[in-house]
């Protein structure tokens, strides 16, 4: 194990400006994508929540069984 005094400080870590810009742009693009994308599981939950009989039954017997009864 290295001692903390042996590790390089943050000031000694350098990356090229172009590399940094590419990374920052990629991060922004992926965060915008994740705001609009919903996983299939999240879509299933919303579908069940928006249908009152499924929503009620999911509280009684669980989401998977309720979803499969109405939409499966």
List, for residues 43-71, the tens digit of each pLDDT value.
999 999 999 999 999 999 999 999 999 99
Q: Where are the extended beta strands (E) located within the chain? A: none
User: 3-state class of 2 per DSSP?
Assistant: coil
* Structural domain harbouring 45: 39-71
In a domain, 21, yes or no: no
* DSSP code, position 8: P
pLDDT digits (tens, 9 = 90+) for 3-47: 555 555 666 777 777 766 665 555 455 555 556 788 999 999 999
Distance, in Å, from the CA atom of 41 to the CA atom of 31, rounded to the nearest integer, reads 19
- The count of structural domains within the chain is 1
| Whole-prediction pTM | 0.50
Distance, in Å, from the CA atom of 14 to the CA atom of 20, rounded to the nearest integer, reads 10
What is the per-residue pLDDT for 37? 83
Rg (CA), the chain: 24
Q: In this structure, what token pair is assigned to residue 56? A: 């009620």
In a domain, 23, yes or no: no
What is the per-residue pLDDT for 63? 95
């Amino acid at each position: 194990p290295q001692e903390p005094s042996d590790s390089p400080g943050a000031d000694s870590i350098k990356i090229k400006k172009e590399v940094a810009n590419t990374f920052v742009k990629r991060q922004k693009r992926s965060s915008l994508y994740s705001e609009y994308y919903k996983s299939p599981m999240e879509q299933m939950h919303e579908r069940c929540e928006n249908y009152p009989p499924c929503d009620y039954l999911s509280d009684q017997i669980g989401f998977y069984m309720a979803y499969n009864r109405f939409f499966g």
